[in-house]
Amino acid sequence: MVTFQIQTTRKEEFIDITAQVADAVAKEDVKRGICCVYIPHTTAAVTINENADPTVSRDILMGLSHLKLESLHFAHLEGNSPAHIKSSVIGCSLVIIIENNRLQLGTWQGIFFCEFDGPRARKVMVQCIGT
């Protein structure tokens, strides 16, 4: 398993971690198999989406903001229930196919760390299984 750190700089942001995950796959030396990317945080997430145009990430964050979660009155006293909900909606893990020691992402796809309660120091875990 390979673990790396992410330092977020805003309350909410998407950070492209495709290169770091690809480096982890290379370190694990798995020619064919699967790669699991796991985020061990309850107010962050990970997703695959377009990384060719940075406005896509901004649009996703804008779309999530239209859920108006911040206007609701939650029982959780820490005040970050919207971040917990967004994390649950997007999810804390991904599985990506590995072939020829490379992630099998589509032409426009990238892997994004999704921060919903930053800025914070965060951790990303990558585990590869295969031959």
For residue 77, what pLDDT band results from cuts at 50, 70 and 90? confident
The pLDDT score that the predictor gives to residue 31 is 95
User: In the chain, what are the domain boundaries?
Assistant: 2-130
Mean pLDDT (the chain, rounded): 96
CATH superfamily label, 2-130: YjbQ-like (2.60.120.460)
Is the confidence at residue 72, as pLDDT, over 90?
A: no
Please report the DSSP string for the chain in residue order: -EEEEEE--SSSEEEE-HHHHHHHHHHHT-SEEEEEEE---SSEEEEEEE-S-THHHHHHHHHHHTT-GGGS--S-TTS-HHHHHHHHHH-SEEEEEEETTEE---TTEEEEEEESS-S-EEEEEEEEEE-
pTM, entire model: 0.95
Is the confidence at residue 2, as pLDDT, over 90?
A: yes
Q: pLDDT tens digit string along 19-42?
A: 999 999 999 999 999 999 999 999
Is the confidence at residue 58, as pLDDT, over 90?
A: yes
Q: pLDDT tens digit string along 100-130?
A: 999 999 999 999 999 999 999 999 999 999 9
